[in-house]
Structure 1
Amino acid sequence: MKPVLLKLLTVLLLFTMPAVYAQEGAASFKVKGFHLDLRIQVMKMPALKQFALDLSKHGINTLLVEWEASYPFEQEPLIANRYAYTRQEVADFIRFCKSISIDVIPLQQSFGHVEYILRHYKYAALREDNQDFSQVCPSEPALNKKLFTTLYTDLAATHSSPFIHIGGDETYLLGHCEKCKKRVAEVGLSRLYFDHIKLLCDIVVGLGKRPVLWADIALKYPEYIHLLPKQTVFIDWNYGWPLDRFGDHQQLVNSGYEIWGAPALRSDPDNYFITCWQKHFNNIRDFIPACRKLGYQGILMTSWSTSGAYSSLFDSEGDLIELYAIRHVYPISGFDLLVAAYEKAISSPAPLDIDGFIKQYCSRQYGLSEKDALQFKAALFTAPYKINKGQVIAPVAMTISQLLDSARSAAAILQSLRPVKNQQAFAHSRLMADIRVYYLTFMTIEARANAAHLTPEDRASCLAQLQQLMKQEPSLSQAFVQQNGSLLYPSALEEENILRSQKVHQLYQRLAKIK
């Protein structure tokens, strides 16, 4: 080859190779993760292993486990709840995940969302507030260092992952107590926040691990972000809102820290009675490509079993009996469709084609025709609106009765479809639709009972309707147990069934007592 041609070819290669690498990089994340929330709906260990195995088949290489009180801390035994795994089970699970090439990162909340620790008076000195136990006080560095060194050391001993997730999100009580108010006046909220986060990160780094934390508060108060060790990883969680929702997003991008993105497949306003399928599909379609463009090195699908807000039951002014999760959602067993959509989105550089994906999924999983797949999608996406104080929260004016009609139509569509395979998996969609119809039927009755003038005839009519509704509960509860019996413990299944219908029984008892 002539020298001139060789030189020209070399120049061309130099200019084209970076483009090739950029394209490959855009199509791939180093960390392809899934977040599993075990704060409620703690999975049986065989189900947990099967779930991890299914994720590995979808190309997932990282599992972020929010153990909360299901983890058996050796030196802090008060923290574990009745569904806690044994240490042998945890070790066994992590070995199993390693055998299928999944790295298990433990998530240990260490600032907000620590009710399950602070509920015990052993840790009372760490509380930011003596009625709201959700947050530790960042003005108690010695006590925080002692507790979280113990917890992180335990997690580091059982988890081989190079990471420990320290939480750090939604610190709503930041600057609340008198000590913290004084510090905020002196140094500001950002310094108050990052001093505590730095203490936690330094513990993690001292254990030879890399600290990971949620990015929302860092976005809100970014001034002292530079205090954190360079090994720190931020997770930018975005469930369908503008990038600057929490603060100036560009400051996070320019911070020099490694960043992972996080969409969601279960999040607000999802609960027992509503799943915003279209919201989650749009989130997958839009945010994952945005993370590629921003150069994020990881992506992690979050899956919240609850919002993390709790209702407290006290037997005296300061003596806590129990904490109840305010929001429950349908178990993770009903979300295979979104897990598969996530896998599709992270394996391709192109944004997810929602209609095309659902058609392919329905054909592959259920043997449904293209026409039936579109019907399936229409049923899932139908009117995912909340009700607040008797009013439908929708973009157009809508009554509860109209919303109920749409839910009945969606349930009828799902009942009419005939999957030729994976019928039990398909049954989750039918059950979720039936639970929604049950709920909206109750909401129409409740609205009548809350009318300005409730006549004796109206009361009798409401009671009759409530009786008919309660007759549906055994079949719904039986279907729920049948669909999720291999996933959850019997007592958890019973609790979910009771909570789902509690308001129905309360309203009936109130109205029935009126003579």
Structure 2
Amino acid sequence: MEKKMDTLTLGSHRLVHLDLKGAPLRTCYFEKLFPLLRTWGATGLLLEWEDTFPYNRELSPIGSNGPSSLASGYSVQEAGHILQIAGDCGLAVVPLVQTFGHMEFILKHDEWRSLREVEAFPSSICPSNPRTLPLVKSLIRQIVNLHPDIQYLHIGSDEVWHLGLCSVCTKRAAASKYGKSALYLEHILAIAQYIQETYPYLKIIIWDDMLRSIDLQILNEHYIGKYVEPMVWHYNPRDNFALPIGLWDKYSTVFPNIWIATAFKGATGSTQHIPVIRHHISNHEKWLEELAIHVNKVHEFRGAAFTGWSRYDHYATMCELLPTAIPSLALCLKVWLYGYSEETHAQVAKSLGYIDHPLHIIPQPRPIPIPSNLLFPGWEIAVGMEWFLNFKTKFHNIVVSDQYMMIKVENMQKRWSFSTFSLEKNRFPIILGICH
């Protein structure tokens, strides 16, 4: 009999992250997926729209309404339908909109190129530019308007690779006793105060990585804990899982409410084809151990986001497509609730249609037998990717085989002999001409 983990450790929210940048799914796929997510234990969605969102008016160039946008972006009607499906399935929606780093989808456009912190890099926006805050406010306003029933808004703010580098930011950092930390926190506070004034019912979430290196005193003096809730993300498995020493003590002093983020896909390489499920299970197991030790330090542990990245940034290649990661997601949700066991594994595998073939959680030597007629939405894509990897392995084995190398050498020798013969034949009359 499955025993559910302690509620204090788990928190009350289990958000499945849908990273729509680069791989927006059809609405009919959500109709099949969302009921399963609820069955597997999810309570909501962390929805990262990026440029698939139907921005309009002054923001229309960056969204699915734009003239140069992806044809696969969502219309207002389609976006509303996605939210309706989620609501019908009892899944709360937390939209994620980037407001500091990872803003390539905006800063690549000529209209906003001048807002880059470093002209050559479109990832980070300049917090000192007077046009930055109005742009961020517009983004937030349009996102919130299309999500009327939300309680939380995630404002991103992770991996701000270029901070305090433009001429104005350099002077501001030099004039502040807290340097670049002040630049970061003041930008976050300006955004958070706008949200609090305009939408007082909303709670604000940010990624925590930029906060990790900021001293406790600086965080407290900026009263950042009054405005935002950090989401502590870490995607490594047990053998190299390492949060900064003292992180929980520092955060619990500053922030009354804390989230964490795991990963079920998109965290083992930017060109990964299918998830290494054992890696992700181990990540969840280690997170549970971490929380069991430290969660009592936190006033309220909100819960977890199960992240599934589609690509590492706006210009990056695609990593695992969502259908290939459905087994990993189902197992990770079950592991979070009940822990990993052979019984849990078998139950999930059977529910997904792995009856005649095992559901492997560690990579197997290829080529491997591939199942068919599975029971989860998009299984055809998952199976197709397995076939592709089998053929890729077979091709590689042929190319590096001794027999192939011998044939290749023989062909090279033939071409070399033919070329030499042709060269000598062509040179002969020239030599004669010179001699005459």
**After TM superposition, is the score higher than 0.5?**
yes
Whether 1:170 and 2:159 are equivalent positions in the alignment is: yes
Change (3 A) 1:148 1:459: farther
Q: 1:434 aligns with which of 368, 374, 387?
A: 387
TM-score (norm 1): 0.67
Question: Structure 1 residue 46: deviation in Å?
Answer: 1.6
| Distance in 1 between residues matched to 2:208 and 2:113, nearest whole Å | 27
Equivalent residues of 1:198, 1:229 under 8 A apart:
no
Aligned-pair identity (%): 20
Which amino acid letter does the alignment assign opposite residue 203 of structure 1?
A: Y
| Distance in 2 between residues matched to 1:261 and 1:333, nearest whole Å | 24
Counterpart of 2:362? 381
Counterpart of 1:481? none
Question: Structure 1 residue 246: deviation in Å?
Answer: 9.5
Whether 1:352 and 2:340 are equivalent positions in the alignment is: yes
Counterpart of 2:219? 225
Counterpart of 2:434? none
Equivalent residues of 1:284, 1:341 under 8 A apart:
no
Question: Structure 1 residue 62: deviation in Å?
Answer: 1.5
Equivalent residues of 1:201, 1:229 under 8 A apart:
no
Q: Deviations over 1:377-433 (max 9, x none)?
A: 2xx5136xxxxxxxxxxxxxxxxxxxxxx332xx2xx33xx6786398665554333
Change (3 A) 1:281 1:115: same
Equivalent residues of 1:366, 1:426 under 8 A apart:
no
Change (3 A) 1:429 1:300: same
| Distance in 1 between residues matched to 2:143 and 2:23, nearest whole Å | 21
Equivalence map 1:457-472=2 (5 Å): 457-458=408-409
Whether 1:342 and 2:332 are equivalent positions in the alignment is: yes
| Distance in 2 between residues matched to 1:342 and 1:439, nearest whole Å | 28
Counterpart of 1:490? none
Give the SS at the match of 1:56: helix
Give the SS at the match of 1:77: helix
Q: Deviations over 1:4-33 (max 9, x none)?
A: xxxxxxxxxxxxxxxxxxx85336421111
Show structure 2 runs of 5+ residues with no match: 64-68, 296-300, 413-436
Equivalent residues of 1:288, 1:345 under 8 A apart:
no
TM-score (norm 2): 0.78
Give the SS at the match of 2:307: strand
Q: 1:362 aligns with which of 349, 358, 378?
A: 349
| Distance in 2 between residues matched to 1:299 and 1:423, nearest whole Å | 24
Q: Deviations over 1:155-196 (max 9, x none)?
A: 221212111111011111122323223333333121111111
| Distance in 2 between residues matched to 1:177 and 1:446, nearest whole Å | 50
Counterpart of 2:66? none
Question: Structure 1 residue 218: deviation in Å?
Answer: 0.7
Question: Structure 1 residue 441: deviation in Å?
Answer: 5.8
Question: Structure 1 residue 438: deviation in Å?
Answer: 4.2
Counterpart of 2:134? 146
Whether 1:32 and 2:28 are equivalent positions in the alignment is: no
Equivalence map 1:14-25=2 (5 Å): 24-25=6-7
Structure ranking higher on relative contact order (CA contacts 8 Å, 6+ apart): 2
Whether 1:79 and 2:79 are equivalent positions in the alignment is: no
Which amino acid letter does the alignment assign opposite residue 205 of structure 2?
A: V
Counterpart of 2:275? 275
**Residues matched between the structures, number:** 381
| Distance in 1 between residues matched to 2:335 and 2:376, nearest whole Å | 25
Give the SS at the match of 1:196: helix
| Distance in 2 between residues matched to 1:247 and 1:290, nearest whole Å | 13
Which amino acid letter does the alignment assign opposite residue 312 of structure 2?
A: S
Counterpart of 2:375? 422
Whether 1:123 and 2:82 are equivalent positions in the alignment is: no
Which amino acid letter does the alignment assign opposite residue 357 of structure 1?
A: T
Which amino acid letter does the alignment assign opposite residue 382 of structure 1?
A: P
Question: Structure 1 residue 89: deviation in Å?
Answer: 2.2
Question: Structure 1 residue 45: deviation in Å?
Answer: 1.5
Give the SS at the match of 2:170: helix
RMSD over equivalenced CA pairs, Å? 3.1
Counterpart of 2:284? 284
Instruction: Name the larger-Rg structure.
Output: 2
Give the SS at the match of 1:88: helix
Q: 2:207 aligns with which of 209, 214, 223?
A: 214
| Distance in 2 between residues matched to 1:301 and 1:458, nearest whole Å | 51
| Distance in 2 between residues matched to 1:246 and 1:192, nearest whole Å | 25
| Distance in 2 between residues matched to 1:212 and 1:53, nearest whole Å | 26
Show structure 1 runs of 5+ residues with no match: 1-22, 311-324, 384-405, 449-453, 462-515
| Distance in 2 between residues matched to 1:109 and 1:263, nearest whole Å | 19
Equivalent residues of 1:219, 1:249 under 8 A apart:
no
Q: Deviations over 1:310-332 (max 9, x none)?
A: 5xxxxxxxxxxxxxx32312321
Whether 1:199 and 2:174 are equivalent positions in the alignment is: no
Equivalent residues of 1:138, 1:196 under 8 A apart:
yes
Which amino acid letter does the alignment assign opposite residue 35 of structure 2?
A: L
| Distance in 2 between residues matched to 1:360 and 1:306, nearest whole Å | 30
Whether 1:65 and 2:55 are equivalent positions in the alignment is: no
Give the SS at the match of 1:260: strand
Q: Deviations over 1:200-240 (max 9, x none)?
A: 11122122222111011111224433322524111111112
Give the SS at the match of 1:262: strand
Give the SS at the match of 1:78: helix
Give the SS at the match of 1:263: strand
Q: Deviations over 1:262-291 (max 9, x none)?
A: 110112334354532221111122213423
| Distance in 2 between residues matched to 1:423 and 1:201, nearest whole Å | 40
Q: Deviations over 1:460-481 (max 9, x none)?
A: 58xxxxxxxxxxxxxxxxxxxx
Which amino acid letter does the alignment assign opposite residue 346 of structure 2?
A: K
| Distance in 1 between residues matched to 2:241 and 2:181, nearest whole Å | 22
Change (3 A) 1:247 1:407: farther
Q: Deviations over 1:26-47 (max 9, x none)?
A: 3642111111001111111121
| Distance in 2 between residues matched to 1:437 and 1:246, nearest whole Å | 43
Give the SS at the match of 1:297: strand
Q: 2:92 aligns with which of 103, 120, 127?
A: 103
Whether 1:304 and 2:309 are equivalent positions in the alignment is: yes
| Distance in 2 between residues matched to 1:49 and 1:130, nearest whole Å | 42
